[in-house]
Amino acid sequence: MNHIKCECGHVNPEGTVLCEACGKPIAENQHIDGNDKKKLLNMRYEGSARRSTTYNKTIIDKIWNFFSSVKVGVWLIVLALIASGIGTIFPQEQYIPSDAISRDPQIFYPETYGIFGKIFYQLGFHNLYSSWWYLILIALIGVSLVVCSLDRFVPLYKALKRQKPKRHETFINRQRFYSETDHVSSEDLNTVKERLLQQRYKITEEDGHIVAEKGRFSRWGPYVNHIGLIIILIAALLRITPFMYLNEYLWVREGEVKVVPGTDGEYYIENKEFVLDTYAEDDERFKDAIAKQGRVIPSNFQTNAIIYQAEDQEVIGAETKLNKITDDEISMNHPVKFGGYTLYQQGYQLNEFSKMTFKIYEMNDPDADVLGEFTVDLFNPKTEYKLDNGFKVEVTEYYPDYIITEDGISSKTKDSNNPAFVFKLFPPNSEESEISFVGNVLGAVEGLGIDPTVVELQPMGNVIGSFAPSVDPTGENNYRILIDSIDFDRKSGLSVKRDRTLPLFIIGALIFMIGVVQGMYWQHRRIWIHPKKQGILLAGHTNKNWFGLKKDIEKAIENTPIQMVKDQNNE
């Protein structure tokens, strides 16, 4: 390595722009920071020798230099910014609304947003934030961050440590804040020093040369915050592994005990009771807003749950023994935690159909004599029901979650949210059958102006069915099948999470915040006093907040003959 010896005696590493000790510009390197074209010196990294500005031969040098350029960094940030914005033009796949035409992205985007939706889907923007190119972009920002920081931190640290109060004159008069005063007495100088000390400057002297400095630690702010960002990126990377991050969903009905998914059968949950509270329509505070919205607004929903831990089984196949570990109320913003897992209240369903009982009548029978009765367990429907008095009912179609659209009848989900049936009824000893359609209770309920997402239907279970249609498609039926009673279930939707990366994210965010505050709310300020004949040269530099530095200098030299510094930037 070539070293450069300055006239002040200090030996600088190759590529140094301003001598680390006295600041004298090193003639052959002035092009590096563009000082050769400007009157003012570029002070960004104290003119220290950075790898990126010194070497540019090997491929490694070139890669290093690419990533250590702030320009490249800014480009990466801007690209990430634009990409992120694009992803919000239409909803991401996970946010396709539940009442959409279809939750299949291939259908949803073109159907809902036309040609633009189609392009959006085909470019893969419906999963933009987990696309390989987006992740690479973020990773490149990470690489750039590391390289950039290493490239600058070490030389900057050394330069600031080695700086001396005694500076070369060209260093002083090429600062942005600069003034010359021909005659200054030593009392005046003492006053200035005194005042600088009062403003909490640290003063170092050497042969009458003075540097007053404060806030140097703020120079490390950017490096600290970049470390925070790196930790966050690493945490995000780790989160891809199931060991670090687990996310499951579970529905549990009232009264049901279920294993908590993702826990390898270790934990069980019992839904003792599901509670839904709504705002009273005559609530004095909110009545106007509720009336305007025209619907019931939930105020709280929660699962009163018991969590059990399974005891280690000694005999394989023996019944699992469950030990209660907590008894808690899980609601929005109040998750329950146990054994490293957290359960969040996410959703609920009040009116899941569990059982429907049907009765058979003769068409147009004024006495309504019941000819037969059967009950369908909706979680386990049979294909055929044989009744005592010889009737036989075949279930030809079952739509658990009935919906009718332009494309015909279908089932929105596999859950029995709104069952509808097409029955084939065989009267006793008959090979002839007749078809009837029964169901779509929710359609009838909504027709009555009841909102089944917040109103419980259970108490109406015995009457509500009579509003549901029973259709005779041929108009030639001799019998009618009517809903007699309905049992409903209430189920609670909970998500199960275990996130071991959280502490890392927290530490990263904390370090980031410390770093930005350190770099933004404090500034590194230096004032040099350089004796010359009977007078002095005065210069000042700060990395930001020149206004503040100017005020400091004004205060320090008040009522002394020392000339106020001029801002040479304006000349």
**Sites of contact with other proteins (CB under 8 A):** 34, 42, 44, 70-71, 73-74, 77-78, 80-81, 84-85, 87-89, 91-92, 94-95, 99-101, 113-114, 116, 129, 247, 279, 283-286, 288-290, 292, 297-301, 331-333, 335, 342, 344, 346, 405-406, 495, 497, 502, 505, 509, 512-513, 516-517, 520-521, 544-547, 567, 569-570
The span from the CA of 494 to the CA of 250, in Å, is 5
Question: Which value, in Å, is the radius of gyration of the alpha carbons in the chain?
Answer: 39
DSSP H helices, 127-255, are: 132-162, 169-173, 186-198, 221-238
CB of 116 to other proteins, least distance (A): 8
Using rule CB under 6 A, residue 144 touches ligand HEM: yes
Residue placing its CB nearer to ligand HEM in the complex, 465 or 508: 508
**Shortest reach from residue 267's CB to other proteins, in Å:** 16
Mask of contacts with ligand HEM, 507-546, x by CB under 6 A?
---------x--x---------------------------
Query: Dihedrals φ, ψ of 310, to 5°?
Result: -80, 135
Dist CA 199 CA 211 (whole Å): 14
Q: Which residues contact 387 (CB under 8 A, 6 or more apart)?
A: 360, 372, 373, 374, 393
Q: Which helix (H) or strand (E) holds 515?
A: helix 502-521
**Is 95 buried (19+), middle (13-18) or exposed (0-12) by CB count in 10 A?**
exposed
What tokens were used for 57?
A: 């031969």
Q: Smallest distance from the beta carbon of 50 to other proteins, in angstroms? A: 14
Residue 285 interaction partner, one of ligand HEM, other proteins, none, beta carbon < 5-8 Å per kind: other proteins
461 scored as a contact of ligand HEM (CB under 6 A): no
Q: Which helix (H) or strand (E) holds 111?
A: helix 105-122
Per partner kind, with CB cut-offs from 5 to 8 A, the member of other proteins, ligand HEM, none near residue 368 is none
| Shortest reach from residue 509's CB to ligand HEM, in Å | 12
Say how many CA atoms lie within 13 Å of 51 toward its Cβ: 18
CB of 562 to ligand HEM, least distance (A): 30
Q: Scanning the structure block, which residue is given the tokens 């030639």?
A: 476
**Which range in 142-150, 283-291, 334-342, 399-407 contacts ligand HEM by CB under 6 A?**
142-150
Shortest Å, Cβ 192 to ligand HEM: 29
- Using CB distances below 5 to 8 A depending on partner kind, what does residue 42 bind out of ligand HEM, other proteins, none? other proteins
Rounded-to-integer distance, Cα 459 and Cα 262, Å:
36
Q: Which does 497 bind (CB under 5 to 8 A by kind): other proteins, ligand HEM, none?
A: other proteins
> 3-state DSSP: the chain helix, strand, coil percent, rounded to 5?
35, 30, 35
Distance, CA of 124 to chain centre: 20
Stretch that binds ligand HEM, among 69-77, 292-300, 314-322, 324-332 (CB under 6 A): 69-77
Find the shortest distance in angstroms from Cβ 560 to other proteins. Answer: 24
- Which one, 70 or 107, has the nearer CB to ligand HEM? 70
At residue 439, the 3 state secondary structure works out as strand
Residue 238 in the binding site for ligand HEM (CB under 6 A):
no
Based on CB atoms, which residue is closest to ligand HEM, 3 or 71? 71
Does position 77 bind ligand HEM by CB under 6 A?
yes
CB of 115 to other proteins, least distance (A): 8
145 binds, among other proteins, ligand HEM, none (CB under 5 to 8 A by kind): ligand HEM
Nearest CB to other proteins, comparing residues 44 and 258: 44
CB of residue 419 to other proteins, shortest distance in Å:
20
Total residues at interface with ligand HEM (CB under 6 A): 16
DSSP 347-379: EEEEEEEEEEEEEEEETT-TT----EEEEEETT
Q: Which residues on adjacent β-strands are paired with residue 358? A: 374, 483
Distances (CA, A) of 64 to 139, 153, 191: 15, 15, 49
The interface region with ligand HEM, picked from 68-76, 315-323, 498-506, 527-535 by CB under 6 A, is 68-76
- For residues 147 to 186, the per-residue mask of contacts with ligand HEM, x marking binding by CB under 6 A and - elsewhere, is -x---x----------------------------------
For residue 349, the cross-strand partners are 491
Residue 99: contacted member of other proteins, ligand HEM, none (CB under 5 to 8 Å, by partner type):
other proteins
Cα 65 to Cα 42, 44, 69, 73, 503, distances in angstroms: 19, 17, 6, 11, 34
Residue among 205 and 451 whose Cβ is closer to other proteins: 451
Select 220 or 249, whichever has its Cβ closest to ligand HEM.
220
The option from other proteins, ligand HEM, none interacting with 297 (CB < 5 to 8 A, set by class) reads other proteins
- Under 8 Å between Cβ of 500 and 244: yes
Q: How far apart are CA 279 and CA 48, in angstroms?
A: 66
- Report how far residue 252's alpha carbon sits from residue 268's, in angstroms, rounded to the nearest whole number: 11
Task: Enumerate the β-bridge partners of residue 300.
Answer: 277
Query: For other proteins, which is the closer residue by CB, 350 or 481?
Result: 350
Tell me the closest approach of the beta carbon of residue 125 to ligand HEM, in angstroms. Answer: 22
Give residue number: closest CB to ligand HEM: 73
Q: Choose, by CB under 6 A, the member of 15, 23, 47, 73 that binds ligand HEM.
A: 73
Smaller CB distance to other proteins: residue 198 or 247? 247
* Identity at 102, one-letter amino acid code: S
SS3 letters across 34-50: CHHHCCCCCCCCCCCCC
DSSP class per residue in 301-353: EEEEEEEEEEPPPSSTTSPPPEEEEEEEEEETTB-EEETTEEEEEEEEEEEEE
The one among 145, 233, 482, 556 contacting ligand HEM by CB under 6 A: 145
222 lies in the binding site for ligand HEM (CB under 6 A): yes
Site residues for ligand HEM per CB under 6 A: 70, 72-73, 76-77, 141, 144-145, 148, 152, 222, 225-226, 229, 516, 519
